[in-house]
Amino acid sequence: MPVKHYGQENSVLNNWPDESTSEFIADKDIICHGSALNWLSTLLYQFHQLLNRICDSINFWKSGQINSEREKKSLALQVIRSQKYEAMGIIMGGVTHNFNNILMCIIANAQKGESLSGNPEIKDRFGKICQVARKAAEISKQLVDLSKPDPQVQYDYFSLNDIIKETVLLVRSSFPVSIQIEEDLGSGIGIIIGNSCQIQQVLMNLLVNAYQAIPSSNGNIRIKTSKSILKEQSAENGGLLPGRYLELTVKDNGSGMDETTLKNLFVPFFSTKKESGGCGLGLSTAMYIIKHHNGHIHAASKPGEGSTFKILFPAIN
């Protein structure tokens, strides 16, 4: 199928319902970039999934298990908001192929520079370029997998603390020495099941955002892991079932966010940094990934008081 209206990513998102209405509008002429994706079949699949979720929510409400009107409204908004995440998945599938080609070019040139350089420091720099570019290529592949209607991402058991340590090592070299990264990793945290590359992508996103939110040359980013127990299901925790969870917290002493920014933080293409090239996909992608790991992410912030992101992952017994 030929590509039509290439570059109309915003039109795709605009055709998804916002959080104040459940009206579903479809533009049959909008087809996203990427020959491997069939817009119509994907759209029908997503609409079918939406209907299933709405029916499930209605049955849940009728059962009397949710008594609070606030809880009902919050869960309804989550159903509608999920449409934007699915649209984002379609767009991701259309751009990651070209992005991966660019990465392969970067890796090839960095490897050449590494082999030709006689300076140990420069050689080490080229090596780090290769390492980070390979990690980006792996993330690119995972984004392609996530963009499919039925993502087939390989999950495994891994240590959350180990992934944090590895990620901090990667980002330290690109942050100014004046930015302090503190690690408060709980002992005996245990393991989670998921895709370690995707979780690393989420953490890198949070760390980069934290660094960019620090206006002065001196800043502090604190990463903490701990055990958490949910005693009841609530909209505040994303509707997660009661049980044992691992909690990952990333806190910074940056400029903080106002209520409007906080409300739209996870909406695809929403960005406060568009003048500097921000595309507004970092945090929406993070939420997309965490949802696929049966987890939940929550943000808290006030202007001038920094920001705190908390993520819950199901713990493995």
DSSP label of 127: H
pLDDT of residue 251: 97
pLDDT of residue 62: 53
pLDDT of residue 284: 84
pLDDT of residue 174: 78
Tell me: do 10 and 50 sit in the same domain. Answer: yes
Q: Residue 180 and residue 225: Cα distance in Å, rounded?
A: 17
- Mean pLDDT of successive 10-residue stretches along the chain, which has 317 residues: 40 44 38 41 52 59 56 58 55 65 85 87 88 79 59 82 90 85 91 90 91 83 95 79 94 92 83 60 85 93 94 90
Strands (E), 124-242: 156-159, 179-185, 191-194, 219-230
Last residue of a domain, one of 148, 182, 198: 148
Tell me: do 277 and 230 sit in the same domain. Answer: yes
Q: Residue 76 and residue 257: Cα distance in Å, rounded?
A: 25
What three-state secondary structure class fits 269? coil
Enter the pTM of the model.
0.57
pLDDT of residue 70: 64
Tell me: do 126 and 189 sit in the same domain. Answer: no
Last residue of a domain, one of 97, 129, 148: 148
pLDDT of residue 39: 45
Tell me: do 125 and 239 sit in the same domain. Answer: no
Residue 260 in tokens: 């409007």
The number of helices, as runs of H, and strands, as runs of E, in the chain is 8, 7
Tell me: do 113 and 229 sit in the same domain. Answer: no
Strands (E), the chain: 156-159, 179-185, 191-194, 219-230, 243-252, 296-301, 307-314
Q: Residue 232 and residue 239: Cα distance in Å, rounded?
A: 9
pLDDT of residue 46: 55
Task: Report how many domains make up the chain.
Answer: 2
Tell me: do 90 and 69 sit in the same domain. Answer: yes
Query: To which H or E segment does residue 282 belong?
Result: helix 282-292
Q: Residue 292 and residue 90: Cα distance in Å, rounded?
A: 16
C-alpha 204 chain-centroid distance: 10
Tell me: do 229 and 289 sit in the same domain. Answer: yes
Tell me: do 202 and 245 sit in the same domain. Answer: yes
Tell me: do 26 and 138 sit in the same domain. Answer: yes
Q: Residue 126 and residue 115: Cα distance in Å, rounded?
A: 9
Tell me: do 288 and 161 sit in the same domain. Answer: yes
CATH number of the domain residue 299 falls in: 3.30.565.10
Last residue of a domain, one of 148, 180, 208: 148
pLDDT of residue 49: 58
Residue 229: give the domain boundaries: 156-314
pLDDT of residue 158: 94
Task: Return all residues near 177 (Cβ < 8 A) that are at least 6 apart.
Answer: none
Tell me: do 129 and 179 sit in the same domain. Answer: no
The crossing angle, in degrees rounded to 10, of helices 282-292 and 69-116 is 110
Tell me: do 177 and 310 sit in the same domain. Answer: yes
pLDDT of residue 223: 97
What three-state secondary structure class fits 272? coil
